[in-house]
Amino acid sequence: MKKLTIAMGLVSLTTSSVAPEAFAHGSGGDIAVFETDGKADVGYAKLDEDDIEQIAFDPNDSVFQAVLVPLATNPVIPYDLSSTEPGYDANEGDLPALAEIFWNLQELSYWDGAGTPNFAPATGVAGGYAPQPVVTQASGGFHTHEHFGLEDLTADGQPIPDGVYLAEFTISVEGLEDSDSYYMVSLVESLVNDAADPIALGEEIGEAVIAFMEDPSSGAPVVGGKDFSFYASAIQHAESLVVPEPTTLAMVAMLAACVPARRRG
């Protein structure tokens, strides 16, 4: 059963091996990593501007999203498109001290965005996180922004096809049982890849899609003349793959308004 601690508000520390660049995402927070009964667990966390306090925390969020952008040649990062957002965060004491953390890709699926979500195994691309592993601090906390990305395996000179890539992951924390599956829903879009500022355009798309999902009456998320409602549908499809226990949902609802924000101590 997931940790039932919620802090209301808007959704960390080892030094990241990759500088936390402002890559496009639109999810507005990071992925929290913590322990539940000897098992690694993930949820949603949003930090304050100083990356010290988790001003929002939802232990039941297992779906995250990113808009991938072109990556300059990097000998450590193999990806053609990537994002360092959302990052990963754990408070002091949430994880074992000096523990190695690995990301395990279970499945990578693709949908071209036409019609209703119809994901099939992705071909010609590989995905994952790099570099890894990272190591928690002596306090058991960490904060990092590794690259999640896609690598073209075709060598045909053509870009990775536009559409939505759904990556199913588990996370391994040394000394704990591996986590249950969680999902990264990533958009590949030529408008972004060809933009003068792909990060800014990707962020605009991500924010528009999230706003549309929160309030569909606000209108379709049209950016650069293209309707990205299909990306919202892909995120909703991923959310349908995760079904929380009814008892958990009821207890979260009761606790949501009365638990203080989480701090590193």
Q: What is the pLDDT of residue 16?
A: 32
Considering only the C-alpha atoms of the chain, give the largest distance between any 2 of them, rounded to a whole number of Å.
56
Residue 182 pLDDT > 80: yes
- What mean pLDDT comes out for the span 102-120? 97
Give the confidence band of 196 by pLDDT, cuts at 50, 70, 90: very high
Residue 207 pLDDT > 80: yes
Q: What is the pLDDT of residue 54?
A: 83
Amino acid found at 186: S
- What mean pLDDT comes out for the span 199-223? 94
Which residue from 12, 141, 151 is spatially nearest to 87, judged by alpha carbons?
A: 12
Q: What is the pLDDT of residue 250?
A: 39
Give the confidence band of 122 by pLDDT, cuts at 50, 70, 90: very high
Q: Which residues contact 39 (CB under 8 A, 6 or more apart)?
A: 176, 177, 178, 179
Residue 74 pLDDT > 90: no
Residue 13 pLDDT > 90: no
Which residue from 62, 90, 248 is spatially nearest to 170, judged by alpha carbons?
A: 62
Residue 139 pLDDT > 70: yes
Q: What percent of the chain has pLDDT over 70?
A: 81
Q: Which residues pair with 169 in a beta bridge?
A: 105, 182
Count CB atoms within 10 A of the CB of residue 26. 22
Q: Global pTM? A: 0.83
Query: Helices (DSSP H) in 164-245: which residue ranges?
Result: 190-193, 198-214, 229-240
Strand 163-173 relative to strand 30-36, pairing: unpaired
Instruction: In whole angstroms, give the CA distance from residue 202 to residue 191.
Output: 9
Count CB atoms within 10 A of the CB of residue 137. 18
